[in-house]
Chain A
Amino acid sequence: MSVFVTAVCAAAVRAGTSVLFATLGEIFAERSGVLNLGVEGMMLVGALAGFVTTVRTGNPWLGALAAGMAGGLLSLIHGVLAVTLRANQVASGLALTIFGTGLSAALGRGVIGVPAAGFHAVALPAISRIPFLGPVLFQQDPLVYLSYLVVPAAWFVLYRTRWGLDIRAVGEHPEAADAMGIDVARTRYACVAAGGVLAGLGGTFLSTAYTSMWIENMTAGRGWIAVAMVIFATWDPLRAVVGAYLFGGVNALQLNLQAAGTSLPIYLLLMAPYVFTIAVLVFATRETARKRLGAPAALSVPYSRTG
């Protein structure tokens, strides 16, 4: 395996990790029947909270904690509007993204250009020396390793626990779930909050691991790409890995082309991840229709006993 391919694959994992966290989070929210289009806003606020905390404390783990909390808190606004007040979920999610974008820019104006001691790559003992897989997967920074744990954990929770069964029931058929004694609102709140925490982690990955700086709007649409990747993943945490790393791969390739001094204009290369995501969405829509793997039946439908 050539050095170049290994380097691109390692970069793909790195570049895909923030989308991976956010996609896993949105899978939880949507599985419970709540569409949250506020991912972009939650990621940005998470990125800022993580960055500022890392700067103040010098500890990126505290930053990650703060980012998760910030994302979770922000998602509760969507919870109140979408679950309790049964407002239109698309509108509420858009409001969250608009708000989060503005809030992070307003609060972050003081830390632009400030350096932070973020995460560094740590080679794991032994397994990092496996040819190809070692440098690609196991010479990354700790948040990437955390994502390796979150993926199987998310899958296990959704498919192998009582709680996951409840989530899926609430997302597919809330009336039946309610009749079975599952608290629909509480389940949805928990899933929306989990989505917020993971989006926050995806954000802080960008500001304390992928780079070590805060830039206004630094997510650059990754929250929306995550929403698209949920469809590509057919709401399955394991398949989310494929989508996120494919996005990461396209991103890594275009960065490599830029660095190699290609004659292609940089701004056209920068379009690649977005064009790719639209293509993926088209493919995923056709596949899900063909295999009849639809969205959770109650997705974006508010629930109340009175109807």
Chain B
Amino acid sequence: MIRARARTEPSPWAVVAVPVISTLGAFLAGAALLALAGVNPLVAYLDLVSDPFGSVFGWTETIVKAIPLILTGLAVLLPARMRLWNIGAEGQLQLGAIGASWVVLWTPLGHTPVAVPALLLAGMAAGALWCLIPAVLRAWLNVNETITTLLLNYIALLLVDYLIYGPWKDPASRGFPLSAPFPPAARLPALIPGTRVHLGLLLALAAVAATMFLLTRTRFGFEIRVLGDNPQAAQYAGINLGRNILLVMAVAGALAGLAGAGEASAIAGRLERGLSPGYGYTGIIVAWLARLNPLATAIVAVLLGALFLGGDGLQISLGLPIAVVSMLQGLIFFFVLGGERLAGYRLAAPTPRGAAAAKSR
């Protein structure tokens, strides 16, 4: 039987080698499964790589996909720093899109020059409020946030359906479940003319910088780190667990909500189904592969964004469902989790509740 032996220090090569070898392993295993699905894996992989990296347009589209992934990655990362699992970024993203659409379509602000800041703020507020539901349940009633954040994803998606099939349905959409289109004033401006790279990129990078600042330079960040490292000591030191749970989850929800507002405003230009092909779930993998480092989140988001773009291409050229991307992501996640352990370094967080207590026994 294989046994993982704990090393005292990670070997320096492991930091780079583990993700690289893990990804290669994942793609090898994926090739076998693609063959099983009746697809020539070589053809599929060639498509997968040529779309994102084969042209300047491909590169810009990769960035477009990376924008929401940076934000959802951060939305998972922040709570994880204090050992909370936010697997509800998908739903918080949807709420962000709903909040943004509400401001644009149902308030007078939609046609004004302040439409863009207003819709972004509304999206962040909606995402934050949505994430406060599991946060309150966790902080006040100690209800497991892993399950509640996830279940709320299903509810959020149904809420979008309700709105676009019901009260927000565009009468001019000829029966299609779409909201009315956003007016030009409410579309996020393009950052690079002629491409779809939008203002959201700057906002996402600003969020990376803000998260780094928050974690390393503020009292809030200090408290989060202490709570993550040693929850008991933190509480003896007078750090308020409940208040920090609410704060960190609200910020996380706001980040995911910002991603949703960006997708609705910059990409779709309306509220519709399928604004996200799973950016919220992928955010979990982004945060983990980035080893909960905000800066690394941006880099990992670009790589996984390329995978989404490649997946779009596979849908068109080989008729494969976009879920193939989930399959490959799951494999990468498996191999990285296993690879880390085999290479002998472990992540600082998030370990499940109780693990630290058990270890100290």
- Cα A65 to Cα B320 in complex, Å, equals 28
Residues of B whose CB lies within 8 Å of any CB of A are: 1-4, 6, 33-34, 36-38, 85, 87, 137, 141-144, 146-148, 150-152, 154-155, 158-159, 161-162, 165-166, 281, 284-285, 288, 319-321, 323-331, 333-334, 337-338, 340-342, 347, 350-352, 354-355, 358-359
Q: A90-B352, A91-B337, A105-B321 are in contact. List 7 more A-B contacts (CB 8 A).
A: A80-B338, A87-B338, A91-B333, A92-B334, A216-B323, A300-B354, A301-B354
> Of A81, A106, A278, which one neighbours B338 at CB under 8 angstroms?
A81
- Cα A282 to Cα B150 in complex, Å, equals 15
B329/A109 in contact, CB under 8 A: no
A sample of 10 cross-chain residue pairs with beta-carbon separation below 8 angstroms, ordered by A number, consists of A77-B334, A88-B351, A88-B352, A95-B285, A102-B326, A103-B33, A221-B151, A221-B154, A271-B159, A298-B358
Q: Which residues of B sit under 8 angstroms from A221, Cβ to Cβ?
A: 150-151, 154
Q: Which of A99, A274, A306 has the most CB of B within 10 A?
A: A99
- For residue A107, CB closer than 8 A to chain B, the reply is yes
Residues of A whose CB lies within 8 Å of any CB of B are: 35, 37, 41, 77, 80-81, 84-92, 94-107, 109-110, 185, 216, 220-221, 224-225, 227-228, 231, 265, 267-268, 270-271, 274-275, 277-278, 281-282, 285-286, 289, 297-301, 306-307
- Cα A110 to Cα B337 in complex, Å, equals 31
- Name B278's closest neighbour in chain A (CB-CB): A98
Q: Which residues of A sit under 8 angstroms from B146, Cβ to Cβ?
A: 37, 90
Nearest 9 interchain pairs by C-beta:
A99-B330, A102-B326, A102-B327, A105-B323, A267-B162, A95-B333, A85-B341, A98-B330, A300-B352
- Cα A289 to Cα B137 in complex, Å, equals 14
- Cα A299 to Cα B353 in complex, Å, equals 10
Given A86-B341, A90-B85, also A220-B333 (CB < 8 A): no
- Name A38's closest neighbour in chain B (CB-CB): B330
Q: Which residues of A sit under 8 angstroms from B87, Cβ to Cβ?
A: 94
Min CB–CB distance A186 → chain B (angstroms) = 10
A85/B142 in contact, CB under 8 A: no
> Of A101, A228, A271, which one neighbours B323 at CB under 8 angstroms?
A101
Q: Which residues of A sit under 8 angstroms from B38, Cβ to Cβ?
A: 110
A282/B352 in contact, CB under 8 A: no
- Name B3's closest neighbour in chain A (CB-CB): A84
- Cα A271 to Cα B155 in complex, Å, equals 6
- Cα A225 to Cα B152 in complex, Å, equals 12
Min CB–CB distance B209 → chain A (angstroms) = 26
B323/A87 in contact, CB under 8 A: no
A99/B158 in contact, CB under 8 A: no
- Cα A91 to Cα B346 in complex, Å, equals 13
B326/A286 in contact, CB under 8 A: no
A278/B341 in contact, CB under 8 A: no
- Cα A14 to Cα B154 in complex, Å, equals 22
A103/B144 in contact, CB under 8 A: no
- Cα A221 to Cα B165 in complex, Å, equals 22
Q: Which residues of B sit under 8 angstroms from A299, Cβ to Cβ?
A: 352, 354
Q: Which residues of B sit under 8 angstroms from A37, Cβ to Cβ?
A: 146
Q: Which residues of B sit under 8 angstroms from A270, Cβ to Cβ?
A: 158
- Cα A136 to Cα B5 in complex, Å, equals 54
- Cα A94 to Cα B326 in complex, Å, equals 11
> Of B142, B155, B324, B330, which one neighbours A95 at CB under 8 angstroms?
B330
- Cα A270 to Cα B157 in complex, Å, equals 11
B330/A281 in contact, CB under 8 A: no
- Cα A185 to Cα B154 in complex, Å, equals 35
Given A37-B146, A84-B2, A278-B148, also A267-B159 (CB < 8 A): yes
Min CB–CB distance A207 → chain B (angstroms) = 16
Q: Which residues of A sit under 8 angstroms from B37, Cβ to Cβ?
A: 106-107, 109
- Cα A267 to Cα B331 in complex, Å, equals 33
Q: Which residues of A sit under 8 angstroms from B36, Cβ to Cβ?
A: 107
- Cα A109 to Cα B83 in complex, Å, equals 38
Q: Which residues of A sit under 8 angstroms from B355, Cβ to Cβ?
A: 300-301
